[in-house]
Structures are given as C-alpha cells and as structure tokens.
Amino acid sequence: MAQTYGYVRVSSREQNEDRQLVAMRNFGVEDVNIFVDKQSGKDFQRKGYRRLLKKVKPDDTLVIKSIDRLGRDYDEILEQWRLITKEKQVAIVVIDIPLLDTRQKERDLTGTFIADLVLQILSYVAQQEREFIRQRQAEGIEAAQARGVKFGRPSATTPPEFDIEVAKWRNGEQTAVETMRRLGLKRTTFYKLIAVQNGEGE
C-alpha cells in the first residue's frame, strides 16, 4: 500500500520545526512517517533524509513545506528531484507551491513543463540569494577593514610598566616568572611582547 511521507528540516538545533510539523499533519502525514533533520541544507548527507530515501518505494508520496527545506544547492536540488521522481518513482508535493505536485500521473506536456520550469526558477533564486548574502558579507568586512576595524583575536596590550619590569629581568634583578607575575601576563603573551620590543614582531 502506498504511503505518504513528510520531510522537515531546520538549519540548526536551536530552530523550531513546529510550523513544518503542523503543515505535515494538516496535509495528513502521520507522525511515524515524518523525517526530521536539524542541520544545514548545503548538501544531502543528512541522517533523516538518507533514512527517508531508503524507506520510500514506488507510488509513495513525499511532502515538504517549501523547496528550500529539501536543500539549498541549485544543482543538488534538481538532482535529488530527479532521483526521487524518476528513479524511485515517488511523487513530490511542495505545500507552498501547488504547481510543484507530481502526483498527477496523467499531466499534459504543458503542465509538466510548467512544473519543471517553476522548480528550476525557485532553485536558482534560492542559490542566488545565498551568493548575494555571501557577497554582502564580504563587502561589509572589506568596508569595515577600510575604516580600520580589525578582525580576529585582538593584539596583546602592553602594560604601562612593561619596559621597567623587563629591564629588571634583563639585568638579572628578577626572574622571567616573577616579571610575568608582576605584569599579569601569561608566558606566551609575555614572550610575544618581548619579540615586539626586540623588533621581531608586529
């Protein structure tokens, strides 16, 4: 007997999948047939998704809330769509996009063309948006650096009495350990500042 399965994905464990679960139940998918992943959609190496692929069989139906819940990569989405609908012969229903419903076996050529076109456009737009986000982030970092903003771990700050205490250490008046203690510095920071003082560092 043909089964209806649901696939739910959120990008991290902190995000809530309730909205998607409600959509699955309203569609009529039983809880036992809902597979959930809490990880990025950058690829399809997800435990829930892999278990789902092993479970479905010809004439079953896979329900997803929106196309980006399936994945994030344009080429990968198209490949997985082909794998599910052509190789596994499983129908796909995208709740948010009624045109993306392959349950209609006897679709005419125009209907099939429109569904394929909508899928490719949506997948392309999703990927372009991610690339725009990365580009904006890179431009933001570049602009910040131009304003003098530094990224990464902050440079070690030299204590005001550094030169005096180091002079005592160099003259043999106190040990390196005592000097570090008096300056409140860790060993790595201390020797990093010594290197800078000697002209070997920044």
Question: For domain 4-129, is the CATH number 3.40.50.1390?
Answer: yes
CB 170 within 8 A of CB 123: no
| Catalytic status, residue 11 | yes
- Exactly one of 11, 12, 40, 123 is catalytic; which is it? 11
Q: Is the full-model pTM beyond 0.75?
A: no
pLDDT bin (cut points 50, 70, 90) of residue 171 is confident
Q: Where are the domains of the chain?
A: 4-129, 162-197
**Placement of tokens 């959930």 in the chain:** 36
More confident residue, 173 or 5: 5
